[in-house]
Protein backbone atom coordinates (compact mmCIF):
# COMPACT_ATOMS: atom_id res chain seq x y z
CA UNK A 1 0.00 0.00 0.00
CA UNK A 2 1.19 3.53 -0.80
CA UNK A 3 1.64 5.61 2.36
CA UNK A 4 1.14 9.34 2.93
CA UNK A 5 4.89 9.69 3.62
CA UNK A 6 5.70 8.18 0.21
CA UNK A 7 3.32 10.47 -1.66
CA UNK A 8 4.15 13.68 0.22
CA UNK A 9 0.55 13.96 1.37
CA UNK A 10 -0.11 16.39 4.23
CA UNK A 11 -3.18 17.84 5.93
CA UNK A 12 -2.61 21.03 3.96
CA UNK A 13 -2.47 19.48 0.51
CA UNK A 14 -4.71 16.40 0.78
CA UNK A 15 -7.80 16.44 -1.38
CA UNK A 16 -10.91 14.32 -0.78
CA UNK A 17 -13.35 16.36 -2.88
CA UNK A 18 -11.83 16.52 -6.35
CA UNK A 19 -13.95 14.14 -8.42
CA UNK A 20 -11.38 14.07 -11.23
CA UNK A 21 -8.99 12.43 -8.76
CA UNK A 22 -11.65 9.82 -7.95
CA UNK A 23 -12.04 9.04 -11.65
CA UNK A 24 -8.29 8.82 -12.28
CA UNK A 25 -7.06 7.14 -9.08
CA UNK A 26 -10.11 5.74 -7.31
CA UNK A 27 -11.00 6.60 -3.71
CA UNK A 28 -8.49 8.79 -1.79
CA UNK A 29 -7.61 6.02 0.71
CA UNK A 30 -4.24 7.51 1.74
CA UNK A 31 -5.84 10.88 2.48
CA UNK A 32 -8.53 9.27 4.63
CA UNK A 33 -5.87 7.17 6.43
CA UNK A 34 -3.95 10.35 7.19
CA UNK A 35 -7.06 12.12 8.43
CA UNK A 36 -8.03 9.23 10.74
CA UNK A 37 -4.50 9.14 12.11
CA UNK A 38 -3.79 12.85 12.52
CA UNK A 39 -7.02 14.83 12.29
CA UNK A 40 -10.17 12.72 12.57
CA UNK A 41 -12.29 15.86 13.05
CA UNK A 42 -10.80 18.14 10.43
CA UNK A 43 -11.95 21.58 9.21
CA UNK A 44 -11.67 21.10 5.44
CA UNK A 45 -11.45 24.21 3.25
CA UNK A 46 -10.90 23.97 -0.49
CA UNK A 47 -11.86 26.00 -3.56
CA UNK A 48 -15.33 25.34 -5.09
CA UNK A 49 -16.67 23.90 -1.78
CA UNK A 50 -18.23 25.35 1.33
CA UNK A 51 -15.95 24.44 4.26
CA UNK A 52 -16.98 21.48 6.42
CA UNK A 53 -15.81 19.19 9.22
CA UNK A 54 -14.48 15.98 7.67
CA UNK A 55 -15.35 13.05 9.94
CA UNK A 56 -13.41 9.89 9.17
CA UNK A 57 -13.53 7.63 12.27
CA UNK A 58 -16.06 4.82 12.68
CA UNK A 59 -16.96 5.78 16.29
CA UNK A 60 -17.61 9.43 15.39
CA UNK A 61 -19.81 8.52 12.42
CA UNK A 62 -21.82 6.23 14.68
CA UNK A 63 -22.21 9.02 17.24
CA UNK A 64 -23.32 11.59 14.65
CA UNK A 65 -25.70 9.16 12.91
CA UNK A 66 -27.42 8.28 16.17
CA UNK A 67 -27.97 11.91 17.27
CA UNK A 68 -30.40 13.47 14.81
CA UNK A 69 -31.27 15.95 17.60
CA UNK A 70 -27.71 17.36 17.36
CA UNK A 71 -27.02 16.81 13.65
CA UNK A 72 -29.80 17.71 11.25
CA UNK A 73 -30.59 16.47 7.74
CA UNK A 74 -32.94 19.29 6.83
CA UNK A 75 -30.49 21.80 5.37
CA UNK A 76 -28.05 20.01 3.15
CA UNK A 77 -27.57 16.33 2.60
CA UNK A 78 -24.46 15.73 0.55
CA UNK A 79 -21.21 17.56 0.05
CA UNK A 80 -21.33 18.98 -3.43
CA UNK A 81 -19.50 21.67 -5.35
CA UNK A 82 -21.18 25.02 -5.92
CA UNK A 83 -22.32 24.07 -9.44
CA UNK A 84 -24.14 20.91 -8.28
CA UNK A 85 -25.77 22.75 -5.38
CA UNK A 86 -27.06 25.38 -7.83
CA UNK A 87 -28.51 22.72 -10.13
CA UNK A 88 -30.21 21.04 -7.15
CA UNK A 89 -31.79 24.31 -6.01
CA UNK A 90 -33.13 25.12 -9.48
CA UNK A 91 -34.54 21.60 -9.87
CA UNK A 92 -36.42 22.07 -6.60
CA UNK A 93 -37.90 25.28 -7.98
CA UNK A 94 -39.06 23.47 -11.12
CA UNK A 95 -40.71 20.76 -9.02
CA UNK A 96 -42.38 23.32 -6.76
CA UNK A 97 -43.78 25.09 -9.82
CA UNK A 98 -45.13 21.83 -11.12
CA UNK A 99 -46.61 20.43 -7.93
CA UNK A 100 -47.01 23.40 -5.59
CA UNK A 101 -45.30 23.85 -2.24
CA UNK A 102 -42.14 25.86 -1.68
CA UNK A 103 -38.69 25.11 -3.16
CA UNK A 104 -37.33 24.96 0.39
CA UNK A 105 -39.76 22.15 1.38
CA UNK A 106 -37.88 18.87 1.97
CA UNK A 107 -37.67 17.11 -1.42
CA UNK A 108 -38.12 13.73 0.30
CA UNK A 109 -37.85 12.15 3.74
CA UNK A 110 -34.05 11.87 3.80
CA UNK A 111 -34.16 15.65 4.21
CA UNK A 112 -36.35 15.39 7.33
CA UNK A 113 -35.56 15.08 11.04
CA UNK A 114 -37.63 13.22 13.64
CA UNK A 115 -40.51 13.06 14.35
CA UNK A 116 -41.55 14.02 10.80
CA UNK A 117 -38.92 11.72 9.27
CA UNK A 118 -40.21 8.63 11.07
CA UNK A 119 -43.80 9.28 10.07
CA UNK A 120 -42.85 9.42 6.39
CA UNK A 121 -40.31 6.60 6.41
CA UNK A 122 -42.78 4.35 8.23
CA UNK A 123 -45.29 4.49 5.37
CA UNK A 124 -43.53 1.79 3.36
CA UNK A 125 -41.08 0.30 5.88
CA UNK A 126 -43.06 -2.96 6.04
CA UNK A 127 -42.00 -3.75 2.46
CA UNK A 128 -38.30 -3.82 3.42
CA UNK A 129 -38.16 -6.04 6.52
CA UNK A 130 -36.07 -9.25 6.57
CA UNK A 131 -39.38 -11.13 6.81
CA UNK A 132 -40.59 -9.58 3.56
CA UNK A 133 -37.25 -10.31 1.89
CA UNK A 134 -37.50 -13.96 2.95
CA UNK A 135 -40.82 -14.09 1.13
CA UNK A 136 -39.21 -12.66 -2.00
CA UNK A 137 -36.09 -14.84 -1.75
CA UNK A 138 -37.17 -17.46 -4.28
CA UNK A 139 -38.36 -14.80 -6.68
CA UNK A 140 -35.00 -12.97 -6.50
CA UNK A 141 -33.23 -16.33 -6.90
CA UNK A 142 -35.16 -17.12 -10.08
CA UNK A 143 -34.60 -13.66 -11.57
CA UNK A 144 -30.89 -13.88 -10.74
CA UNK A 145 -30.57 -17.29 -12.37
CA UNK A 146 -32.15 -15.89 -15.54
CA UNK A 147 -29.95 -12.78 -15.63
CA UNK A 148 -26.79 -14.73 -14.85
CA UNK A 149 -27.45 -17.38 -17.48
CA UNK A 150 -28.12 -14.72 -20.14
CA UNK A 151 -24.88 -13.05 -19.11
CA UNK A 152 -22.93 -16.32 -19.06
CA UNK A 153 -24.33 -17.11 -22.46
CA UNK A 154 -22.83 -13.88 -23.76
CA UNK A 155 -19.46 -14.32 -22.09
CA UNK A 156 -18.89 -18.04 -22.08
CA UNK A 157 -21.09 -19.95 -24.50
CA UNK A 158 -20.62 -17.51 -27.37
CA UNK A 159 -16.93 -17.66 -26.77
CA UNK A 160 -16.55 -20.87 -28.73
CA UNK A 161 -17.77 -19.06 -31.82
CA UNK A 162 -15.63 -15.97 -31.32
CA UNK A 163 -12.09 -15.68 -32.46
CA UNK A 164 -11.18 -12.64 -30.36
CA UNK A 165 -12.33 -13.44 -26.81
CA UNK A 166 -14.13 -10.11 -26.97
CA UNK A 167 -14.96 -8.51 -23.65
CA UNK A 168 -18.43 -7.95 -22.19
CA UNK A 169 -19.48 -5.06 -19.94
CA UNK A 170 -20.59 -6.56 -16.65
CA UNK A 171 -22.36 -3.32 -15.58
CA UNK A 172 -24.95 -3.28 -18.32
CA UNK A 173 -25.11 -6.98 -19.06
CA UNK A 174 -25.51 -8.10 -15.46
CA UNK A 175 -25.13 -5.78 -12.44
CA UNK A 176 -27.80 -3.31 -13.51
CA UNK A 177 -30.53 -5.89 -14.09
CA UNK A 178 -31.72 -7.17 -10.71
CA UNK A 179 -31.65 -3.86 -8.75
CA UNK A 180 -33.99 -2.22 -11.27
CA UNK A 181 -36.17 -5.29 -11.66
CA UNK A 182 -36.59 -5.88 -7.92
CA UNK A 183 -37.60 -2.35 -6.92
CA UNK A 184 -39.75 -1.80 -10.02
CA UNK A 185 -41.52 -5.07 -9.32
CA UNK A 186 -42.19 -4.02 -5.73
CA UNK A 187 -43.24 -0.57 -6.90
CA UNK A 188 -45.72 -1.85 -9.47
CA UNK A 189 -43.85 -0.55 -12.54
CA UNK A 190 -44.73 -2.60 -15.66
CA UNK A 191 -41.86 -4.77 -16.87
CA UNK A 192 -41.74 -3.18 -20.31
CA UNK A 193 -40.69 0.11 -18.66
CA UNK A 194 -37.81 -1.21 -16.52
CA UNK A 195 -35.15 -0.39 -19.14
CA UNK A 196 -36.44 3.15 -19.38
CA UNK A 197 -36.35 3.52 -15.59
CA UNK A 198 -32.78 2.27 -15.56
CA UNK A 199 -31.90 4.76 -18.25
CA UNK A 200 -33.35 7.68 -16.26
CA UNK A 201 -31.55 6.76 -13.04
CA UNK A 202 -28.29 6.27 -14.92
CA UNK A 203 -28.64 9.56 -16.81
CA UNK A 204 -29.51 11.67 -13.75
CA UNK A 205 -26.59 10.27 -11.75
CA UNK A 206 -24.20 10.50 -14.70
CA UNK A 207 -25.35 13.79 -16.22
CA UNK A 208 -21.82 15.20 -15.92
CA UNK A 209 -20.82 12.64 -18.55
CA UNK A 210 -21.57 13.68 -22.14
CA UNK A 211 -22.30 10.02 -22.92
CA UNK A 212 -25.59 10.27 -21.02
CA UNK A 213 -26.72 13.55 -22.58
CA UNK A 214 -28.78 14.17 -25.70
CA UNK A 215 -27.01 16.12 -28.45
CA UNK A 216 -26.71 19.82 -27.53
CA UNK A 217 -27.60 19.30 -23.85
CA UNK A 218 -25.43 20.43 -20.95
CA UNK A 219 -25.41 18.75 -17.54
CA UNK A 220 -28.23 20.83 -16.07
CA UNK A 221 -30.44 20.39 -19.13
CA UNK A 222 -30.00 16.63 -18.93
CA UNK A 223 -30.96 16.62 -15.26
CA UNK A 224 -34.01 18.79 -15.95
CA UNK A 225 -35.16 16.68 -18.87
CA UNK A 226 -34.79 13.44 -16.93
CA UNK A 227 -36.54 14.99 -13.93
CA UNK A 228 -39.48 16.02 -16.11
CA UNK A 229 -39.71 12.71 -17.99
CA UNK A 230 -39.57 10.74 -14.75
CA UNK A 231 -42.22 12.97 -13.13
CA UNK A 232 -44.54 12.63 -16.14
CA UNK A 233 -44.08 8.89 -16.07
CA UNK A 234 -44.90 8.73 -12.33
CA UNK A 235 -47.97 10.86 -12.87
CA UNK A 236 -49.15 8.34 -15.47
CA UNK A 237 -48.71 5.47 -13.00
CA UNK A 238 -50.64 7.40 -10.35
CA UNK A 239 -53.46 8.17 -12.79
CA UNK A 240 -53.66 4.52 -13.73
CA UNK A 241 -54.07 3.50 -10.06
CA UNK A 242 -56.65 6.22 -9.48
CA UNK A 243 -58.71 5.11 -12.48
CA UNK A 244 -58.38 1.33 -12.14
CA UNK A 245 -57.90 0.84 -8.40
CA UNK A 246 -55.04 0.35 -5.98
CA UNK A 247 -52.95 -2.83 -5.82
CA UNK A 248 -50.53 -4.47 -3.43
CA UNK A 249 -47.51 -2.40 -4.33
CA UNK A 250 -45.41 0.50 -3.00
CA UNK A 251 -47.09 3.13 -5.13
CA UNK A 252 -50.56 2.09 -3.97
CA UNK A 253 -49.39 2.24 -0.34
CA UNK A 254 -48.27 5.82 -0.93
CA UNK A 255 -51.60 6.74 -2.53
CA UNK A 256 -53.39 5.21 0.43
CA UNK A 257 -51.15 6.78 3.06
CA UNK A 258 -52.10 9.50 5.51
CA UNK A 259 -50.00 11.60 7.84
CA UNK A 260 -51.88 13.28 10.68
CA UNK A 261 -55.11 12.43 8.85
CA UNK A 262 -54.00 14.05 5.57
CA UNK A 263 -53.10 12.21 2.34
CA UNK A 264 -49.68 12.86 0.80
CA UNK A 265 -49.57 15.69 -1.73
CA UNK A 266 -48.85 14.87 -5.42
CA UNK A 267 -45.36 16.35 -4.92
CA UNK A 268 -44.70 14.10 -1.92
CA UNK A 269 -45.93 11.00 -3.75
CA UNK A 270 -43.79 11.70 -6.78
CA UNK A 271 -40.67 12.47 -4.72
CA UNK A 272 -41.17 9.48 -2.44
CA UNK A 273 -41.61 7.10 -5.34
CA UNK A 274 -38.58 8.50 -7.15
CA UNK A 275 -36.51 8.11 -4.01
CA UNK A 276 -37.49 4.46 -3.65
CA UNK A 277 -36.91 3.67 -7.31
CA UNK A 278 -33.68 5.68 -7.55
CA UNK A 279 -31.90 5.07 -4.22
CA UNK A 280 -31.26 1.40 -4.76
CA UNK A 281 -30.35 1.22 -8.43
CA UNK A 282 -26.99 2.84 -8.70
CA UNK A 283 -25.88 1.79 -5.23
CA UNK A 284 -26.67 -1.90 -5.59
CA UNK A 285 -25.49 -2.05 -9.19
CA UNK A 286 -22.10 -0.60 -8.28
CA UNK A 287 -21.79 -2.87 -5.26
CA UNK A 288 -22.40 -5.91 -7.48
CA UNK A 289 -19.85 -4.74 -10.06
CA UNK A 290 -17.33 -3.88 -7.33
CA UNK A 291 -17.92 -7.28 -5.73
CA UNK A 292 -17.27 -9.14 -8.98
CA UNK A 293 -14.07 -7.16 -9.43
CA UNK A 294 -13.00 -7.81 -5.81
CA UNK A 295 -13.51 -11.56 -6.19
CA UNK A 296 -11.66 -11.70 -9.52
CA UNK A 297 -8.84 -9.64 -7.99
CA UNK A 298 -8.58 -12.11 -5.07
CA UNK A 299 -8.63 -15.64 -6.55
CA UNK A 300 -7.97 -17.27 -3.15
CA UNK A 301 -11.16 -15.68 -1.78
CA UNK A 302 -13.10 -16.69 -4.89
CA UNK A 303 -11.92 -20.29 -4.58
CA UNK A 304 -12.97 -20.31 -0.91
CA UNK A 305 -16.41 -18.97 -1.82
CA UNK A 306 -16.95 -21.44 -4.64
CA UNK A 307 -15.99 -24.28 -2.32
CA UNK A 308 -18.24 -22.95 0.46
CA UNK A 309 -21.41 -21.40 -0.99
CA UNK A 310 -22.75 -21.03 2.56
CA UNK A 311 -20.29 -18.11 2.84
CA UNK A 312 -22.26 -16.00 0.34
CA UNK A 313 -23.96 -13.84 3.04
CA UNK A 314 -20.65 -13.16 4.76
CA UNK A 315 -18.93 -12.49 1.41
CA UNK A 316 -21.67 -9.97 0.58
CA UNK A 317 -20.99 -8.10 3.85
CA UNK A 318 -17.30 -7.96 3.01
CA UNK A 319 -18.09 -6.77 -0.52
CA UNK A 320 -20.26 -4.02 0.98
CA UNK A 321 -17.41 -2.96 3.29
CA UNK A 322 -14.77 -3.29 0.60
CA UNK A 323 -16.61 -1.36 -2.11
CA UNK A 324 -18.17 1.26 0.25
CA UNK A 325 -20.19 2.58 -2.63
CA UNK A 326 -21.80 5.51 -0.84
CA UNK A 327 -19.00 8.00 -0.24
CA UNK A 328 -20.52 10.57 2.07
CA UNK A 329 -23.59 12.13 3.64
CA UNK A 330 -23.69 15.52 5.31
CA UNK A 331 -25.32 16.93 8.46
CA UNK A 332 -25.65 20.39 10.02
CA UNK A 333 -24.83 21.00 13.71
CA UNK A 334 -27.86 22.16 15.70
CA UNK A 335 -25.77 23.48 18.61
CA UNK A 336 -22.12 23.88 19.63
CA UNK A 337 -20.59 20.42 20.18
CA UNK A 338 -17.17 19.20 21.33
CA UNK A 339 -15.80 16.25 19.37
CA UNK A 340 -12.24 14.95 19.95
CA UNK A 341 -11.23 18.33 21.36
CA UNK A 342 -12.61 20.34 18.42
CA UNK A 343 -15.51 22.74 18.81
CA UNK A 344 -18.11 22.28 16.11
CA UNK A 345 -20.23 25.44 16.02
CA UNK A 346 -24.00 25.57 15.57
CA UNK A 347 -24.69 25.77 11.80
CA UNK A 348 -21.39 24.12 10.77
CA UNK A 349 -21.47 21.39 8.11
CA UNK A 350 -20.29 17.90 9.00
CA UNK A 351 -19.46 15.33 6.34
CA UNK A 352 -19.24 11.63 7.23
CA UNK A 353 -16.90 9.65 4.95
CA UNK A 354 -18.21 6.07 5.11
CA UNK A 355 -15.38 4.38 3.15
CA UNK A 356 -12.92 5.77 5.68
CA UNK A 357 -14.95 4.32 8.58
CA UNK A 358 -14.85 1.00 6.71
CA UNK A 359 -11.04 0.99 6.83
CA UNK A 360 -10.77 2.15 10.46
CA UNK A 361 -7.97 0.04 11.98
CA UNK A 362 -9.59 0.36 15.42
CA UNK A 363 -12.60 -1.61 14.18
CA UNK A 364 -11.33 -3.78 11.32
CA UNK A 365 -8.07 -5.70 11.86
CA UNK A 366 -5.99 -5.52 8.69
CA UNK A 367 -8.63 -3.34 6.98
CA UNK A 368 -7.04 -3.46 3.53
CA UNK A 369 -7.36 -7.26 3.40
CA UNK A 370 -10.38 -8.52 1.45
CA UNK A 371 -11.63 -11.38 3.62
CA UNK A 372 -14.95 -13.03 2.86
CA UNK A 373 -14.85 -14.71 6.29
CA UNK A 374 -14.42 -11.43 8.20
CA UNK A 375 -16.30 -11.68 11.50
CA UNK A 376 -17.45 -9.37 13.02
CA UNK A 377 -17.96 -7.03 10.09
CA UNK A 378 -19.61 -3.95 11.50
CA UNK A 379 -19.34 -1.93 8.30
CA UNK A 380 -21.06 1.38 7.52
CA UNK A 381 -21.85 0.77 3.85
CA UNK A 382 -25.51 1.46 4.71
CA UNK A 383 -24.75 4.32 7.10
CA UNK A 384 -23.89 4.55 10.78
CA UNK A 385 -26.94 2.73 12.21
CA UNK A 386 -28.93 5.83 13.04
CA UNK A 387 -32.21 7.50 12.17
CA UNK A 388 -31.49 7.43 8.42
CA UNK A 389 -29.94 3.96 8.17
CA UNK A 390 -30.56 2.68 4.65
CA UNK A 391 -34.21 1.71 4.25
CA UNK A 392 -33.28 -0.69 1.45
CA UNK A 393 -30.40 -2.44 3.25
CA UNK A 394 -32.26 -5.76 3.44
CA UNK A 395 -33.37 -5.52 -0.16
CA UNK A 396 -29.81 -4.80 -1.31
CA UNK A 397 -28.43 -7.67 0.79
CA UNK A 398 -30.94 -10.18 -0.53
CA UNK A 399 -30.38 -9.06 -4.12
CA UNK A 400 -26.62 -9.34 -3.78
CA UNK A 401 -26.86 -12.75 -2.13
CA UNK A 402 -29.05 -13.99 -4.99
CA UNK A 403 -26.73 -12.64 -7.69
CA UNK A 404 -23.48 -13.90 -6.13
CA UNK A 405 -25.04 -17.27 -5.45
CA UNK A 406 -26.09 -17.58 -9.09
CA UNK A 407 -22.65 -16.35 -10.19
CA UNK A 408 -20.69 -19.04 -8.33
CA UNK A 409 -20.35 -21.41 -11.32
CA UNK A 410 -19.60 -18.51 -13.69
CA UNK A 411 -17.08 -16.40 -11.76
CA UNK A 412 -14.18 -18.88 -12.00
CA UNK A 413 -14.53 -18.75 -15.78
CA UNK A 414 -14.09 -14.97 -15.94
CA UNK A 415 -11.21 -12.54 -15.89
CA UNK A 416 -11.14 -8.74 -15.80
CA UNK A 417 -10.43 -7.05 -19.10
CA UNK A 418 -9.11 -3.72 -17.86
CA UNK A 419 -9.78 -1.32 -15.03
CA UNK A 420 -13.27 0.00 -14.20
CA UNK A 421 -14.32 3.18 -15.97
CA UNK A 422 -15.75 5.55 -13.37
CA UNK A 423 -18.75 7.90 -13.67
CA UNK A 424 -17.32 11.41 -13.58
CA UNK A 425 -18.30 13.98 -11.01
CA UNK A 426 -19.97 11.83 -8.40
CA UNK A 427 -18.88 12.67 -4.91
CA UNK A 428 -21.80 10.74 -3.54
CA UNK A 429 -21.78 7.26 -5.10
CA UNK A 430 -18.66 5.59 -6.45
CA UNK A 431 -20.24 4.98 -9.84
CA UNK A 432 -18.74 2.42 -12.17
CA UNK A 433 -19.79 3.15 -15.72
CA UNK A 434 -18.18 0.17 -17.36
CA UNK A 435 -16.20 -2.89 -16.26
CA UNK A 436 -15.18 -5.27 -19.00
CA UNK A 437 -14.75 -8.98 -18.31
CA UNK A 438 -14.02 -11.88 -20.61
CA UNK A 439 -13.97 -15.62 -20.63
CA UNK A 440 -10.95 -17.25 -19.06
CA UNK A 441 -10.55 -20.75 -20.42
CA UNK A 442 -9.23 -23.12 -17.73
SS3 379: coil
Q: What is the C-alpha separation between 352 and 35, in angstroms, rounded?
A: 12
> One symbol per residue from 111 to 130: x for binding ligand HEM (CB under 6 A), - otherwise; what is it?
----------x---------
Instruction: Candidates 279, 292, 337, 403: give the one binding ligand HEM (CB under 6 A).
Output: 279
**In this complex, which beta carbon is closest to ligand HEM, that of residue 155 or of residue 312?**
312
CA atoms within 13 A on the CB side of 244: 7
User: For residues 429 and 286, is the Cβ–Cβ distance under 8 A?
Assistant: yes
Does 283 engage in binding with ligand HEM (CB under 6 A)? yes
List, in sequence order, every beta strand (DSSP E) within 235-294.
258-259, 262-263
Min dist CB 80 to ligand HEM, Å, is 15
Q: How far is the CB of 326 from ligand HEM (least distance, A)?
A: 4
Burial of 130 (0-12, 13-18, 19+ CB in 10 A): exposed
Measured from the CB atom, the residue of 155 and 183 that comes closer to ligand HEM is 183
Among 28, 107, 188, 280, the residue binding ligand HEM under the rule CB under 6 A is 280
- Give yes or no for a contact between 385 and 62, defined as CB atoms under 8 angstroms apart: yes
Strand ranges in 150-233 using DSSP code E only, listed in sequence order:
168-169
- Span near ligand HEM by CB under 6 A; candidates 6-14, 165-173, 263-271, 279-287: 279-287
Within residues 336-375, the interface with ligand HEM by CB under 6 A covers: 354
Its sign, for the CA torsion 23, 27, 31, 32, is: positive
Q: 95 or 287, CB closer to ligand HEM?
A: 287
Other C-beta atoms within 10 Å of 274: how many?
21
- Give the count of beta carbons closer than 10 Å to the beta carbon of residue 36: 22
Considering only residues 191 through 220, tell me which ones interact with ligand HEM, judged by CB under 6 A. none
How is residue 429 annotated by DSSP? B
DSSP alpha helices (H): ranges in 127-265?
Answer: 130-155, 170, 177-187, 194-205, 219-244, 250-256
Are 432 and 416 within 8 A, CB to CB?
Answer: no
Helices in 159-193 by DSSP H: which ranges? 170, 177-187
Nearest residue by C-beta to ligand HEM?
Answer: 392
The rounded radius of gyration (Å) of the Cα atoms in the chain is 22
| Length of the chain in terms of residues written | 442
| Residue 330 binds ligand HEM (CB under 6 A) | no
Least Å from the CB of residue 261 to ligand HEM: 23
Please tell me what DSSP assigns to residue 39.
-
Q: Residue 14 interacts with ligand HEM (CB under 6 A)? A: no
Residues 71-110 that bind ligand HEM (CB under 6 A): 109-110
Q: Give yes or no for residue 332 binding ligand HEM (CB under 6 A).
A: no
Stretch that binds ligand HEM, among 40-48, 234-242, 387-395, 411-419 (CB under 6 A): 387-395
Task: Decide: is 403 part of the binding site for ligand HEM (CB under 6 A).
Answer: no
* Total residues binding ligand HEM (CB under 6 A): 28
132, 167, 275, 417: which one binds ligand HEM (CB under 6 A)? 275
| Segment interacting with ligand HEM, rule: CB under 6 A, options 92-100, 195-203, 336-344, 380-388 | 380-388
How would you label 174-211 residue by residue, b for 16+ Cβ within 10 Å and e otherwise?
bbbbbbbbbbbbbbbbeeeebeebbebbbbbbbbbbee
Quick one: 159 or 233, whose CB is closer to ligand HEM?
233
- Contact between 381 and ligand HEM by CB under 6 A: the answer reads yes
Least CB distance from residue 382 to ligand HEM, whole Å? 5
Pairing of β 349-353 and β 52-55? parallel
Which of 17, 287, 356, 425 touches ligand HEM by CB under 6 A?
287
Among 180, 396, 407, 410, binds ligand HEM (CB under 6 A): 396
Q: Minimum Å distance from CB 69 to ligand HEM?
A: 15
| Binding footprint of ligand HEM on the chain (CB under 6 A) | 65, 109-110, 121, 183, 275-276, 279-280, 283-284, 287, 325-326, 329, 354, 381-384, 386, 388-392, 395-396
Amino acid sequence: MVTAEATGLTLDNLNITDTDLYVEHGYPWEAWDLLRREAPVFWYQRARFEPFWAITKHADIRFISSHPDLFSNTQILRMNDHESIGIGERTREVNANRYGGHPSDPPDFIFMDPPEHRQHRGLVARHFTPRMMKRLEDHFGEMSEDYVSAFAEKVVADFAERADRSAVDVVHELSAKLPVAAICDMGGVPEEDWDQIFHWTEASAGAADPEFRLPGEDREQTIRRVNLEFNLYNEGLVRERQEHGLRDDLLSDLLNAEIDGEPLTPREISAYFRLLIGAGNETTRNSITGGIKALLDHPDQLDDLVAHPELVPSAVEEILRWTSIVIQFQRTAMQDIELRGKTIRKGDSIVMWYPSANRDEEVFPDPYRFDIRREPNDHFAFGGYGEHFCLGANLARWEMRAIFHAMLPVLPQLELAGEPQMVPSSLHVGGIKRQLVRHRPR
